[in-house]
Amino acid sequence: MNYFLTGGTGFIGRFLVEKLLARGGTVHVLVREQSQDKLAQLRERWGADESRVKAVIGDLTSPNLGIDAKTMKSLKGNIDHFFHLAAVYDMGADEKAQQATNIEGTLSAVQAAEAMKAGCFHHVSSIAAAGLFKGTFREDMFEEAEKLDHPYLLTKHESEKVVRQSCKIPFRIYRPGMVIGHSKTGEMDKVDGPYYFFKMIQKIRHALPQWMPTIGVEGGRLNIVPVDFVVNAMDHIAHLDGEDGNCFHLVDSDPYKVGEILNIFSEAGHAPRMAMRIDSRMFGFIPPFIRQSLKNLPPVKRLTTALLDDMGIPPSVLSFINYPTRFDARETERVLKGTGIEVPRLESYSAVIWDYWERNLDPDLFKDRTLRGTVEGKVCVITGGTSGIGLATAQKLADAGAILVIGARKKERLMEVAAELEARGGNVHAYQCDFAEMDDCDRFVKTVLDNHGHVDVLVNNAGRSIRRSLALSFDRFHDFERTMQLNYFGSVRLIMGFAPAMLERHRGHVINISSIGVLTNAPRFSAYVASKSALDAFSRCAAAEWSDRNVTFTTINMPLVKTPMIAPTKIYDSVPTLTPDEAADMVVDAIVYRPKRIATRLGVFAQVLQALAPKMGEIVMNTGYRMFPDSPAAAGSRSGEKPKVSSEQVAFAAIMRGIYW
């Protein structure tokens, strides 16, 4: 048996060719001249040579598919089945491209099939041909389609009309649902349909523990089917007698709602499930013109656009959240009865779909998310770059090819570190500065701008921490002044100094090393936490002003890190801490991904607890406060003896890993 396929190298096509070859047939595949290498690779996959899979050079949008007269003559009368699969299956594709491929391409395919005198023309349409029909759409319905405003819906409908009205040879029409990956391997070739929501699920997984319930949408029912079901059904139906002129819905007869689909894939991706799903129909009492007016408000439009861009979701996808159409598939069920060809339940194969996406289709895989790709040749400034987190970060940036600027108070140590970084091959510029002195900050800013012209990344890392109970601080108001002077005023002075050039260039990133104490309201750290909280608040306000000028802020609520800053508190030698290198990895993530905030899950949970049950959070922190004493230094003693740590203290610190006590 001889077959001809358009779209034979596409996603559905490559699986269908495999099925047709298994029947012992010879397959002719329409390819462009420049796509022959792709077909050659697929032949290896199919285990077939050129005698079994033959390339036919042509073009979908040319008359008779652009097939030359000699080839057309050889095909005439020798094609039993002509499968037309080639089409644009992309909701976000250009309208003109969709019209050319879907409508004109189908007309050319019909002409070519007639010229070949093919035995049967098999048109792969889509459930999109029904538009946004409200209710149940049967296989014998076509003209009843409605709300065909979107180019994809319209062109799929019009291309099917071409077959129904123009095809003079026997034909059969197949309307698959939203085709996703293979139910056994997860194989898929592009992000489409439910895949658009995978990035959102992934981001939620990174932000929240799996056990935390979330709120989402209910939505309409989306009819999704795996590619292997579609291909198996088409292969079987195409070879049945007496089915010419019929249309077949290759769909799930019991489709899931949007909320159910998101929950199934959330479980597959180990993300939190939506415990409560909101049905948008509950807002139906609001007049449509009011809803539309709200959507068109500038802040709403900007926020919606920003969120969709961040998630990689085309705006047109939102119109399908409340998909109104159900599909009757009684004809398909009739011809498939007893064959074992049926749609598997999504839960049974969602894990392989997710796994294949995360390993092969996740958009982040195709972006340069390396530190070198982000900072090479960029001017990166780190304050407090001679020890702890600052030094570990400086080493990573020097190795990544950044133009590295480090500042610190002690000149001798600064020069020593600069020499070490240069020995690693870094492009290092070291400038002495006491960031607690405003005049020094101004000189630092001027020197950096005079020598480098601008700053791409500013890491406000230099800081002062004081661990002392308020009861021991009544006569130490200077503790609050010192922390504010360095942690807040010094950082703000630098931001205000470097910001004009950033705003002029529409490019800049400020990273503030804050503290988990800001989220937990850590006792004994009131001076330190207040200064960091002030910087956080300033940065949020500045970010709101500069959001549309591509100058961004990231706050890192850093957990407890073993640095010289915590060395005076000997009890910290016995509790879990991050290493400076682990902390520097958090700074690297901030530079590469530019999130608004980086925090541990425990830190985020503490902030949520403070918002929802502040008294409970207060009791937990007070328990820790009473469990861990002030250090001898905080109490005015010079004793260097390491305090004894009880097993109860160790267990509590392990549970509350990273929190300051």
List, in sequence order, the alpha helices (H) in 151-226.
Answer: 151-166, 198-207
Q: Is 200 helix (H, G, I), strand (E, B) or coil?
A: helix
DSSP type of residue 644: P
Q: Hey, CA dihedral for 71, 76, 78, 80, is it positive or negative?
A: positive
Dihedral sign (CA 576, 581, 587, 589): negative
**Residue 169 DSSP code:** S
Inter-residue contact 104 to 118 (CB < 8 Å) = no
Kindly tell me if the per-residue pLDDT of 276 is higher than 90.
no
**pLDDT per residue over 4-37, tens digit each?**
999 999 999 999 999 999 999 899 999 998 888 9
Nearest to 261 by CA among 334, 331, 198: 198
- Whether 66 shows a pLDDT value over 70: the answer reads yes
Q: Is residue 456 part of a domain?
A: yes
pLDDT category of residue 291 using cuts at 50, 70 and 90: low
Structure tokens at 72: 């057309």
**Location of structure tokens 């990956």:** 181
Q: What is the pLDDT of residues 131-144, one digit of tens each?
A: 999 999 999 999 99
Q: How far is residue 468's CA from residue 482's CA, in Å, rounded to a whole number?
A: 14
Question: Which one, of 373, 426, 431, 370, lies nearest residue 403 by Cα?
Answer: 426
Rounded (5°) CA angle 493-580-536: 35
Residue owning tokens 């939190």:
272
Distance of alpha carbon 111 from alpha carbon 276, whole angstroms: 53
DSSP line for 220-287: -EE-EEEHHHHHHHHHHHHT-SS-TT-EEEES-SSPEEHHHHHHHHHHHTT---EEEEE-GGGGTTS-
Report helix, strand or coil for 198.
Answer: helix
Interval 493-507 mean pLDDT: 96
Query: Of 124, 159, 176, at which residue does a domain stop?
Result: 176
Q: Which residue has the tokens 């007698």?
A: 241
Helix axes 601-612, 614-627, angle to 10 degrees: 120
Q: Which residues pair with 515 in a beta bridge?
A: 558
3 state DSSP class of 143:
coil
Q: Does residue 93 surpass a pLDDT of 80?
A: no
The pLDDT > 70 percentage for the chain reads 87
Measured CA distances, 604 to 156, 312, 423, 600 (Å): 47, 25, 40, 6
Q: Is residue 634 part of a domain?
A: yes
Closest by CA to 660, choosing from 527, 534, 553, is: 527
- Supply φ then ψ for residue 136, to 5 degrees: -100, 125
Q: Per-residue pLDDT tens for 217-272?
A: 888 899 999 999 999 999 999 999 999 999 999 999 999 999 999 999 999 999 99
What's the CA gap between 81 and 31, in Å, rounded?
17
Domain boundary among 176, 209, 240: 176
| 481 vs 97 pLDDT, higher one | 481
For residue range 392-411, list pLDDT tens digits in order: 999 999 999 999 999 999 99
Residue whose pair of structure tokens reads 């097993």 in the numeric block: 647
pLDDT at 289 over 80: no
CB burial class (10 A; 0-12, 13-18, 19+) of residue 91? buried
Residue 106, pLDDT > 70, answer yes
User: Residue 116: pLDDT band by 50, 70, 90 thresholds?
Assistant: very high
Q: Taking a C-beta distance cutoff of 8 angstroms, is the pair 217, 307 a contact?
A: no
User: Is residue 62 in some structural domain?
Assistant: yes
Tokens matching residue 267: 């479980």
Local confidence band at 525 (pLDDT 50, 70, 90 cut-offs): confident
Summarised one tens digit per residue, pLDDT across range 469-499 is 888 888 889 889 999 999 999 999 999 999 9
List, by residue number, the catalytic residues.
Answer: 528
Report if residue 185 sits inside a domain: no
Q: Is residue 569 predicted with pLDDT exceeding 60?
A: no
CA dihedral 461, 466, 470, 473 (to 10 degrees): -120
Q: What is the rounded CA–CA span in Å between residue 250 and residue 187?
A: 19
Work out the pLDDT band at 385, boundaries 50, 70, 90.
very high
Residue 260 lies in a domain: no
Per-residue CA distances from 163 to 58, 140, 147, 211 (Å): 20, 15, 21, 51
Residue 513: in which H helix or E strand, if any?
strand 508-515
The residue out of 141, 176, 211 marking a domain boundary is 176
Please tell me the distance from the alpha carbon of residue 610 to that of residue 14, in angstroms, as a whole number.
55
Whether residue 547 is predicted with pLDDT greater than 80 in this model: the reply is yes
- Which pLDDT value is given to residue 613? 78
CA 150, 156, 161: angle at the middle one, nearest 5? 125
In a domain, 63, yes or no: yes
Instruction: Write out pLDDT tens, residues 616-660.
Output: 777 776 776 666 666 666 656 655 556 666 666 556 565 566 566
Distance between alpha carbon 411 and the CA centroid of its chain, in Å? 44
Helix (H, G, I), strand (E, B) or coil at 353: helix
C-beta separation of 311 from 362 below 8 A:
no
Tokens read off for 419? 């020499």
Above 60 in pLDDT, residue 661?
A: no
Residue of 547, 229, 180, 488 lying closest to 354 (CA atoms): 180
- Whether 299 is in a domain gets the answer no
Predicted confidence band of residue 523 (pLDDT cuts 50, 70, 90): confident
Domains: count for the chain: 2
Q: What is the pLDDT of residue 578?
A: 80
Other beta carbons within 10 angstroms of residue 635's beta carbon come to 12
Asked whether residue 192 is domain-assigned, the answer is no
Record the pTM.
Answer: 0.73
Domain of 41?
1-176
pLDDT of amino acid 564: 63
- Is 311:199 a contact under the CB 8 Å cutoff? yes
Query: The domain spanning residue 597 has which CATH number?
Result: 3.40.50.720
Six token digits for residue 96: 């003109």
pLDDT in tens, 155-199: 999 999 999 999 999 999 999 999 999 999 999 998 888 999 999
